[in-house]
Amino acid sequence: MFDVKAVRKNAFRITKTRGETALRIRVPGGHLQAKHLAVIQHIAENFGNGSVHITIRQGYEIPGIQLKDMPAVNQAVSGMLTAIEQECGLTLTSPEQGYPAAGARNISACIGNRVCPFANFDTTALAQKIEKSIYPNDYHVKIALTGCPNDCIKAHMNDIGIIGNVIPAFEKNRCIGCEACVDTCHNRVTNCLYMEDHARAMDESYCIRCGECILKCPVAALTRGTTLYRIIVGGRTGKRNPRLADTFISGADETTVLTICKNLYTFIGNHINRTMDKEHVGYIIDRVGYDIFTQEILEGITLNPEAVVQLPVNQGYHYRIRP
């Protein structure tokens, strides 16, 4: 009666209650025009059970919808869907049929520099650009963006995490030697700063480009240099080998970020084990190996001079598997 695979691809869930589904609303970058909440309310109250679940990936899930109502719900959602994707620069071919894919999970982002002083970039804006380059897509991939290494969005738990970095620009002849930057780096970051000649000095090899020192400088001796991104890969939860993502490229520019997200889907297409119900990308990387992963994911990219590719080493932990 219902094509379960088509239902799922349409962003509806197969639930434990027979005949009942739940619709997942994408909110790329986790930021939404408030007017869309009225649409979510309308669907929840007219087709669902009047409640809404806020998902971990910053989307909405509207439960209690009857599977038979899917066409009507798709009609109801199409205006909002069109508007949200258009904000990402994406025009969907048939929005009246609802979501064209559900594999590519909602791209989440911390609140970013629209609000947060620590953020080194506009996380929502870059999330929307990524959305444009990867959606719709059926492979199950999780991407998250975070404004600074505090990683409030937990990008470390995603297949690809984008962490905002900034290279501090330092003008020694404006430094008053107040030690505010040195203290904050010592107390909160990597202690890469120290005092020399009554001015801030730096051991660059320890700097993680978080921008904390810039925020603390009361004289603007430290200002913002180039904005770059650290790309971490391979983060996941799950029932076999959970692990935090690890650095793959540090100092990447925006073009590199966008291309890598796109290339990941090509890599999956090249290597996914189609005999399995679903093979998660992290396990594909593990199976294929980082050499091939690196080669394919960097396809067509001319790395910017600051970018450094490195081998992710975090193995996470394995549940005991019976031999």
Partner 1 sequence: MPETTHSFNLSAEQSTQVFNNLSEAFHLWAPVIKRKGSRFSEQDITTYGEPASFDEIFLSQQTFFSPKEALFPVRETMFKVDGNGLTESPYAGKPWLLFLRACDVHALEVMDAHYLSGTQPDIYYQRRRSKMKIVLLECPQPFEHCYCLSMGTAQTDHYAAFIRPKGHTHEWLVRDSQMLSAFPFEQVPVENPKPVPFNHRQVTVPEKINNTIFNHDMWKEYSRRCIACGRCNTSCPTCTCFSIWDVKTKAGDERQRIWSACHVKKFSVLAGNHDFRTKNGERMRYKVLHKINDFKKRTGKQMCIGCGRCDLVCPEYISMFRSIDKMNAVLKESTDHAA
Strand 160-170 and strand 143-146: the pairing is parallel
Q: Shortest gap between Cβ of 267 and partner 1 (angstroms)?
A: 31
172 contributes a contact to partner 1 by CB under 8 A: yes
Q: Examine residue 221 and tell whether it contacts partner 1 (CB under 8 A).
A: yes
The single residue among 56, 219, 308, 311 that binds partner 1, judged by CB under 8 A, is 219
* Residue 119 identity: A
Q: DSSP of 119-160, one letter per residue?
A: -SS-HHHHHHHHHHHH-S--S-B-EEEESSTT-TT-GGGSSE
Backbone torsion region of residue 252, taken as left when φ is above 0, otherwise alpha when ψ lies between -120 and 50, otherwise beta: beta
Site for partner 1 in 24-43 (CB under 8 A): none
Residue count, binding to partner 1 (CB under 8 A): 34
Candidates 22, 84, 166, 244: give the one binding partner 1 (CB under 8 A): 166
**CB-neighbour burial class of residue 72 (10 A; exposed 0-12, middle 13-18, buried 19+):** middle
Read off the tokens for 280.
């998660």
Among 90, 101, 178, 292, interactor with partner 1 by CB under 8 A = 178
Longest dimension (CA), the chain: 78
| Binding status of residue 323 toward partner 1 by CB under 8 A | no
Interface stretch with partner 1, choices 51-59, 83-91, 174-182, 229-237 (CB under 8 A): 174-182
Name 160's Cβ contacts closer than 8 Å, sequence gap at least 6.
141, 142, 143, 144, 231, 232, 233, 245, 260, 261, 264
Given the rule CB under 8 A, which of 30-38, 43-51, 221-229, 232-240 is the region that contacts partner 1? 221-229
**Is 179 a binder of partner 1 (CB under 8 A)?**
yes
For the bound state, the minimum distance from the C-beta of residue 251 to partner 1, rounded and expressed in Å, comes to: 16
10 binds partner 1, rule: CB under 8 A: no
Q: Does 195 bind partner 1 (CB under 8 A)?
A: no
- Choose the binding region for partner 1 from 66-74, 102-110, 118-126, 138-146 (rule: CB under 8 A): 118-126
Q: How far apart are CA 49 and CA 40, in angstroms?
A: 12
Positions touching partner 1 (CB under 8 A) are 113, 117, 119-122, 147, 164, 166, 172-180, 197-199, 211, 214-224, 227
